Structure 1
Amino acid sequence: MHAIRTGAVRVLVLLAILLTGLSAPRAQASAQPFRVLALYNGTWDAAHISFVHEANDWFPRQAAQNGFSYTASNNWDLLANGGVNGYQVVLFLDDLPQSAAQRTGFERYMRGGGAWMGFHVSAFTTDAQSWPWYHDQFLGSGNFKSNTWGPTTAVLRVEDRTHPSTRNLPATFTSSVSEWYSWSNDLRRNPDIRILASVDPSSFPLGTDPDQSWYSGYYPILWTNTKYRMLYADFGHNAMDYDTDTTLSSTFASRTQNRFLLDGLKWLGATASSHPHARAEPEPHWRSLR
């Protein structure tokens, strides 16, 4: 009997090893690394430049343990010439496409299955009709309407805790410091827009300049358009001492806000297996294209 039991145990152990081996490729496939391209301008407004420097330091440090590689470039023509097609996710750090070819290329990339995360000034415009697909349809925000000043933290209310980017967030949290924008379009009226977080009323008054503060109202801060793989975040403007060009705050100071960034990026990167232009060759976790 002892021999029979020992033999049975050995068979079970062998079966477990075989099953583990069979399941391993699936686990590896689900965690397949994805490639991120961050586009930036880096030449105007010291607060935006400060954020670009921070982003190009913070994201590479997160890359290895979060399953992505990170490339930064100030060459926006990568959108126009097909250079963007080798990346699963594109970030706009402090600007948006300016030329017709860049804009056409970005729209083609998004309609073709690409993914995008934009920050703060990447949505700024006072002439939405110059690119209606981007400002009115894709972002849904329309024109810039107002802003708070100076840059401050805000208490944000998470409106949708079922989305992959927000499911690990608490009901409310304190953001990092930023200047905050409002928009001409009411995003609540757009059926394609899913608002993920907005300014909680406990934040009011929001701002330090009485003439540029919000005292009441509804202000979306994080949202997605359900027709695309995209996320917009209305932060990315550090507090600055403009006289000395000294950074006074960090966009990555809030751990909870950082959780949104990383969870959101992983959700966007999940398009890797379905993106028609995805390339699988390995690369360093950080590099810069000029």
Structure 2
Amino acid sequence: MAEQFRVLVFSKTGGWHHESIPAGVEAIRKLGQMHDFGVFWTEDAGRVMNDKELPKFQAVIFLSTTGDILNDEQKAAFQRYIRAGGGFVGVHSADDTEKNWPWYMKLLGRMFKAHPANQTATLMVNERNFPGMDRFPKRFLFTEEWHEFGPALSGDLKVLLCVDERTYDASTNWGGVKGQGMGAQHPISWYQHFEGGRSFYTALGHLPGTYMDERFLHHLFGGIYWAATGKGFSAD
């Protein structure tokens, strides 16, 4: 039987390499088995970031990528892919990737600024009517490295999850960059239509154990499904 769609999992790092990446790759492979979609994983940009290989995938997942990971030719091919209707999924430190590339920064929507130590905090559902959001209660506990972001770089971001800053200590000093939180609306996951393609991001996924959490995995699948197919979901 034919697969529903195929995704590229790309986890190249030019900076910090998260120990959770192998767990993330394995989790996405299992999601593919569960939901009948193909998964191809690589950290070799030269192998896949071109006009021949990218069209084989309906979505590209940047799984905890960091730093500068694409050359100019690869960037141009990735832009063409998105503009031709491709899907993008950013997981966790995808927000700390290609921070000198304005187009990518707009595609992702917001970029990493700082984070405090890992803490348990309360997540709040901002939008239920999106794939993968239906298993979350309105408020629930989650343990994460809570990213603080810079300003929105796109006016079309639709927020799915926020973290309640009253439930953890958001203060930090990250290499001279001080974080004090983002206030009542501290986004953690969002999506947007972008230049003909689709972009979904979740800041969750720092800890290896997160990839054993069925709620998170359903959330991640929902983002992959939407990015790959463009199909929505109504929980109400």
**Deviation for aligned residue 1:186:** 4.0
Q: Residue in 2 aligned with 1:66?
A: 35
Q: Does 1:94 align with 2:82?
A: no
Partner residue of 1:121 out of 76, 93, 108? 93
More helix by share: 1
1:148 to 116, 122, 141: 116
Match of 1:205 in 2: 169
Amino acid at match of 2:167: S
CA contact (8 A) 1:173 1:256 kept: no
Distance 1:234 1:41 in 2: 17
| Residue 234 (structure 2) aligns with | none
For 1:112, the aligned partner's letter is A
| Matched AA of 1:171 | K
Aligned mate of 2:124, from 157, 162, 173 = 157
- The separation in 2 between residues aligned to 1:53 and 1:41, in whole angstroms, is 12
Deviation (angstroms), 1:111: 0.9
Secondary structure of the corresponding residue to residue 26 of structure 2: helix
Name stretches of at least 5 consecutive residues in structure 1 with no aligned partner. Answer: 1-27, 239-248, 273-290
Aligned position for 1:41: 12
Cα distance, 1:121 vs structure 2: 1.5
User: Residue by residue, what CA displacement relative to the aligned partner does 1:4-48 show, whole Å, maximum 9, x if unpaired?
Assistant: xxxxxxxxxxxxxxxxxxxxxxxx9xx9521111011268545x1
TM-score normalized with structure 1 length: 0.67
Answer whether contact 2:125 2:161 (CA < 8 A) is retained: yes
Contact in 2 for aligned 1:79/1:102 (Cα 8 Å):
yes
Q: Which has the larger Rg?
A: 1
Report the alpha carbon displacement of residue 213 of structure 1 after superposing the two structures with TM.
7.2
Letter of the aligned partner of 2:88 in structure 1?
W
Q: CA deviation at 1:251?
A: 2.1
1:1-290 pair list within 5 angstroms: 33-41=4-12, 45=16, 48=18, 50-77=19-46, 78-95=48-65, 97-124=69-96, 128=99, 130-135=100-105, 137-141=106-110, 143-149=111-117, 151-175=118-142, 177-186=143-152, 190-206=154-170, 217=183, 218-227=185-194, 228-238=197-207, 249-271=208-230
Assess if the C-alpha contact under 8 Å between 1:154 and 1:199 holds in 2: yes
Shift of the 215–182 alpha-carbon distance from structure 1 to 2, 3 Å rule, reads closer
**1:109-137 CA distances to partner (integer Å, 9 max, x unpaired)?**
11111111111211215x84x311111x2
Q: Is the 8 A contact 2:10 2:61 kept in 1?
A: yes
Question: Structure 1: which 4+ aligned runs deviate by more than 3 Å?
Answer: 42-46, 209-216
| Maintained 8 Å contact 1:89/1:114 | yes
Distance 2:198 2:5 in 1: 14
The answer to whether the 8 Å contact 1:156/1:197 transfers is: yes
Change (3 A) 1:33 1:90: same
Q: Structure 2 vs 1, CA of residues 231 and 206 (structure 1 numbering), >3 Å: closer, same or farther?
A: same
Q: Identify the structure with the greater strand proportion.
A: 2
What SS does the aligned partner of 1:251 have?
A: helix
Q: Answer with 214-223 or 99-108: which moved more.
A: 214-223
Taking a change above 3 Å as real, the CA distance of residues 205 and 216 of structure 1, as seen in their structure-2 partners, is farther
Q: CA RMSD in A?
A: 2.9
TM norm structure 2: 0.80
Cα offsets for 1:229-263 (capped at 9, x unmatched): 2211112322xxxxxxxxxx512243222221122
